[in-house]
Amino acid sequence: MPQGQPEQVPADGLTTRRRRNRPLTIVHTGEMKGKSTAAFGLALRGWNQGWNIGVFQFVKSAKWKVGEESALLALGGLHTSQGLGGPVEWHKMGEGWSWTRKQGTDEDHEAAAVEGWREIQRRLAAQTHDLYVLDEFTYPMKWGWIDVDEVVATLRDRPGHQHVVITGRDAAPALIHAADLVTEMTKIKHPMDAGQKGQRGIEW
Amino acid sequence: MPQGQPEQVPADGLTTRRRRNRPLTIVHTGEMKGKSTAAFGLALRGWNQGWNIGVFQFVKSAKWKVGEESALLALGGLHTSQGLGGPVEWHKMGEGWSWTRKQGTDEDHEAAAVEGWREIQRRLAAQTHDLYVLDEFTYPMKWGWIDVDEVVATLRDRPGHQHVVITGRDAAPALIHAADLVTEMTKIKHPMDAGQKGQRGIEW
């Protein structure tokens, strides 16, 4: 556990306070599923700080994350009803994105992914959220639907103090280079290897 | 994302349904901090299933997990007040363990760790929880305070359908061998390397 003792002090001219409060770009990559789970764990912590949390799922099937969605939206509800923690929004590409309300328009996955990214760019410009979870966002970049360099430039130039967590396998080298914190979730052992099937509460 | 297609079917005589519902021993190890965060993310998912969640923190300082504690206890409160999700208990060694109410008796960390483990054994025998998060539990094993073989035997022989997640660096080989699912969180890049200090909401 890091105890706040940096290995070196950078010559960036920032005070410790400024440096401590720098907005972070975080990437969870690797083959294991802890990537998204750890991102939602970060959202838990942000909620407790009163942060405005925005989750954006870049996958067609959202079936696997219903537990985290229900729990985080329940926490967002506590913000609304009792002023606890921060507000939470959860948007899914697979249902035509929550903000558009155009159901069933997601036949074209590439167009839907790009539309999601444009909305995120607008929100970053407007400083809508304190923490963005861009779940499985590496895939539209990997498939060439969204330009990695544009993502990197948008993140680099974002105003204010907005943290961004991106999850998914095969994160692009340019994204890893631009990120502040990159964790790889590596498989040592998985029950599927031994013929275990996915189970409720653990896998989704 | 595993789609429920096992690589092989084991000759264990279990039906798919039995195999799907086997209780899991999960280990999150490695040098990066996503270990605990991903475990609390799993607890989110379990909460949504209505599971009884028990978190046990085997570290003296609990300062770093206050966000997850507040958020998960808020979810547990929703179970109490509105019947949503499942109940949540959170016990910290650093404060003399919540169930004993003997504050300030934790001067002897080894005795406190053993006392925590004995309680977990009792709860496993009584099938108290559906999901146990034993946070930083690898350390008392590493330091020789708690016998790894006893932990492995207790987990192997636990009754019913209780999932157990153990986090911490340097998980013992015997524990990894006994576990069903082991993920290593590997550092690719960390802002502390560049002199960034820990910050609220991200580090605690």
Mutate which of A81, A166, A188, A190 to disrupt the B interface (most B C-beta within 10 Å)?
A188
Residues B186-200 as b or e (16 or more Cβ within 10 Å = b):
bbebbbbeebbbbbe
Q: Rounded to an integer, what distance in angstroms lies between the CA atom of residue A13 and that of residue A22?
A: 13
Q: Which of B33, B41, B202 sits opposite A37 (nearest CB)?
A: B41
**Closest residue by Cα to residue A162 from A122, A115, A192:** A122
H helix or E strand, kind and range, residue A38: helix A34-48
pLDDT of residue A28: 94
CA angle A172–A178–A182, rounded 5-degree value? 70
Contact yes or no for B197 and A44 at CB 8 A: no
Say what the ipTM of the complex is. 0.77
pLDDT surpasses 80 at A41: yes
* Chain B residue with the nearest C-alpha to that of A34: B38
DSSP of A173-202, one letter per residue?
Answer: HHHHHH-SEEEEEEEEE-GGGGTPPP-TTT
B11-49 pLDDT tens trace = 655 555 555 567 999 999 998 778 998 999 999 999 999
Encoded amino acid at A33, one letter: K
Please tell me the predicted confidence (pLDDT) of residue B19: 52
Q: What is the pLDDT of residue A166?
A: 97
Q: What is the pTM of this model?
A: 0.81
Residue-wise pLDDT for A86-98, tens only, equals: 999 999 887 778 8
Band of residue A159 on the pLDDT scale cut at 50, 70, 90: very high
CB pairs < 8 Å spanning A and B: 249
**When comparing pLDDT for B197 and B154, which is higher?**
B154
Report the alpha-carbon distance of residue A196 to residue B18 in Å, rounded. Answer: 10
What confidence tens digit (pLDDT) does each residue in A48-67 have? 999 999 999 997 665 567 88
Q: What is the average pLDDT score of chain A? A: 84
DSSP A63: G
Does A191 contact B185 at a Cβ distance shorter than 8 Å?
no
Give the chain B residue whose CA is nearest to the CA of A21: B199
Residue A1 has a pLDDT of 37
* Structural fold of domain B21-185: Rossmann fold (3.40.50)
pLDDT value for A4: 47
Which positions in chain A touch B179 (Cβ < 8 Å)? 189
> What pLDDT, in 10s, does the model give residues B61-118?
655 678 899 999 999 999 999 999 999 999 988 777 888 766 555 568 899 999 999 9
pLDDT recorded at residue B29: 94
Which contiguous run of DSSP H or E holds residue A82?
helix A66-82
CA distance, residue B157 to nearest chain A CA (Å):
18
CB B38 within 8 A of CB A41: yes
Record: contact B38-A42, CB cut-off 8 A: no
CA–CA gap between residue A202 and residue B128 (Å, rounded): 18
Q: Indicate yes or no: CB of A10 within 8 angstroms of CB of B64.
A: no
Q: Which helix (H) or strand (E) holds B176?
A: helix B173-178
CA dist., res. A152 & res. A161, Å (int): 16
CB contact under 8 A, A197 and B68: no
* pLDDT at residue A72 in the model: 96
Residue-wise pLDDT tens digits, B129-183: 999 999 999 999 999 999 999 999 999 999 999 999 999 999 999 999 999 999 9
Can you give the pLDDT at residue B48? 94
The one-letter amino acid at A37: T
- In SS3 terms, B37-105 reads as HHHHHHHHHHHHCCCCEEEEECCCCCHHHHHHHHHHHHHHHHHHHHCCCCCEEEEEHHHCCCCCCCCCC
**pLDDT at residue B173, as a whole number:** 94
**Do residues B184 and B31 make contact, with C-beta atoms less than 8 angstroms apart?**
no
- Looking at residue A11, its pLDDT comes to 60
DSSP states along B119-131: HHHHHHHHT--SE
Contact A85 B71 (CB under 8 A): yes
A15: confidence class by pLDDT, cuts 50, 70, 90: low
- Mean pLDDT: which of A32-36, A195-199, B65-69, B113-117 is highest? B113-117
Q: Return the structure tokens found at A192.
A: 């599927």
CA distance B10 to chain A (A): 6
- The reported pLDDT for the residue numbered B4 is 47
- Chain A residue at shortest CA distance from B179: A189
pLDDT of residue B22: 79
DSSP state of A29: E
Nearest-Cα residue of chain B relative to residue A136: B1
Task: Name the architecture of domain A22-185.
Answer: 3-Layer(aba) Sandwich (3.40)
CB contact under 8 A, B32 and A203: no
B2 backbone φψ class: left, alpha, beta (φ>0; ψ -120 to 50): beta
